[in-house]
Amino acid sequence: MTSRLSLPFTALSTADDVIAGVDLTGRRAVVTGGASGIGLVTARALAEAGADVTLAVRDPGAARRAADEIRAVSRADAVRVARLDLADRDSIADFTSAWTGPLHILVNNAGIMALPDLVRTPEGWESQFATNHLGHAALTLGLHGALASAESSRVVQVASSAHLMAPVDFGDIHFERRPYEPWTAYAQSKTAVVLFTVALAERWARDGITVNSLHPGGIMTNLQRHLDDDQLTFVGAKDSTGTTLDVPPGWKTPEQGAATSVLLAASPLVKDITGRYFEDVAVAPVQPDPAPGRSGVAPYAIDPAPARRLFDETVRVLG
């Protein structure tokens, strides 16, 4: 892996800045959660560059409206919609079995955050871990053949700086013994996303598949739908008068938030990079003292040993 990488972008660069001059004609992409927020911006940028884009979402109606929006503002015609519920193993299996032909770009963008109460899937899995990690893992593993059959394919894993709040607790991943805490659960799920990136990059390099993760930055999207006023204040989304801000100080617009996803999905500047964690459209430094509100990547999130352990545990539980 490359230790240093110089890129001509900044934290304020947008998806349009990153995609400028890139031609994705003939390439096929899947964007989970592509009907809104940074997923929609990512899908639009890829489509505008000529990719055949599939919006994989829980609500096909919303995705159809998003597809119409993409077509209306770009030259893109090949924008498709497919139902995908990452908390439903049958839905994931239906999606992967229905996919035919190569897949060049997979953007694992969808997610849920800070559910106020403990919610379990039918398998007994904690919902944030199940959706943010296990669901995307099942999808990605199920599409391995399609990714391997494409030339120089890419998997993009949308993680979060929240991973700096907690490692994966392998002794009690699903809060069966420890008290449930929304942010710890979210943080753990995003650490798992980064660890799985490391594991897949190690295994899939020989197949011509690069796998990278990223923190998009703080963006006001549907991701915050479960936060109450106190939590919105905690994350800095409200001003001193209690007004919720469209773009809080230090946060990004959806166009800026999608820039790093688009870089990893499409830019020739990172075509040989794999197993890395990016933020602000650049490789993130290692954060030696992980804590909420900090930047960089936690050492425990890129350690090959827990990455391999997570991979083995993920394959085991997915059966």
φ, ψ (nearest 5 deg) of residue 84: -150, 120
Q: Show Cβ contacts of residue 240 under 8 Å, excluding neighbours closer than 6 positions.
A: none
Tokens 């890139």: give the residue.
Answer: 22
Residue 186 annotated as catalytic: yes
Choosing from 180, 186, 277, 300, the catalytic residue is 186
User: Measuring CA to CA, which residue among 245, 209, 269 is closest to residue 20?
Assistant: 269
| Conformation bin of residue 152: beta by default, left when phi > 0, alpha when psi is -120 to 50 | left
Buried b / exposed e over 272-300, threshold 16 CB at 10 Å, is ebbbbbbbbbbbbeebeebeeeeebbbeb
φ, ψ at 50 (rounded to 5°): 105, 0
- Distance in angstroms (rounded) separating the CA atoms of residues 209 and 141: 12
Amino acid at 36: S
**Whole-angstrom distance, CA of residue 180 vs CA of residue 128:** 12
Going 198 to 82 to 123 to 316, the CA torsion angle's sign is negative
Q: How far apart are CA 93 and CA 153, in angstroms?
A: 21
Report which residue type is found at 288.
Answer: P
Residue 126 phi, psi (nearest 5): -60, 135
**Residues with a known catalytic role:** 186
